[in-house]
Structure 1
Amino acid sequence: MKSETIGNAVFETWTAEELAAAFDRNEVVIIDVRTPQEYMFEHIEGALLMPLAFFAASKLPGQSDKRIVFHCGSGVRSERVCRAAIEAGITPIAHLEGGFGAWKAAKLPYVGTNMATGAPQRVA
Structure 2
Amino acid sequence: MKTEEAGDSILETWTVDEVQKAFDNHEIVLIDVRTPQEFMFEHIEGSLLMPMAFFVADALPGQGEKRIVFHCGSGARSEKVARAAIEAGMARVAHMEGGFGAWKGAGKPYIGTNMANGAPHRVNS
The TM-score bracket by the shorter chain reads over 0.9
Shift of 1:7: 1.5
- Tell me the equivalent position of 2:12: 12
> Residue 60 in 1 paired to residue 60 in 2?
yes
Q: Which amino acid aligns with 1:59?
A: A
**What do the CA deviations read for 1:47-89 (whole angstroms, capped 9, x no partner)?**
0000000000011000001100000000000000001000000
Task: Tell me, in whole angstroms, the C-alpha distance in 2 between the residues paired with 1:91 and 1:51.
Answer: 21
Q: Percent identity?
A: 69
Shift of 1:44: 0.2
Task: Tell me, in whole angstroms, the C-alpha distance in 1 between the residues paired with 2:91 and 2:72.
Answer: 19
Where do 5+ consecutive residues of structure 1 fail to align? none
Task: Tell me, in whole angstroms, the C-alpha distance in 2 between the residues paired with 1:113 and 1:7.
Answer: 41
**What's the TM-score once normalised by structure 1's chain length?**
0.99
**What do the CA deviations read for 1:8-35 (whole angstroms, capped 9, x no partner)?**
1010000000000000000000000000
1:32-51 equivalence runs, <5 A: 32-51=32-51
1:24-103 equivalence runs, <5 A: 24-103=24-103
- Tell me the equivalent position of 1:112: 112
Where do 5+ consecutive residues of structure 2 fail to align? none
Task: Tell me, in whole angstroms, the C-alpha distance in 1 between the residues paired with 2:107 and 2:57.
Answer: 31
Task: Tell me, in whole angstroms, the C-alpha distance in 1 between the residues paired with 2:67 and 2:81.
Answer: 15
Report the 3-state secondary structure (helix = DSSP H, G, I; strand = E; otherwise coil) of the residue aligned with 2:84.
helix
Superposition CA RMSD, Å: 0.4
Task: Tell me, in whole angstroms, the C-alpha distance in 2 between the residues paired with 1:122 and 1:19.
Answer: 19
The list of structure 1 runs, each at least 4 consecutive aligned residues, that deviate by more than 4 angstroms after superposition, is none
Figure out how many residues of one structure are paired with residues of the other and give that number: 124
Task: Tell me, in whole angstroms, the C-alpha distance in 2 between the residues paired with 1:65 and 1:106.
Answer: 28
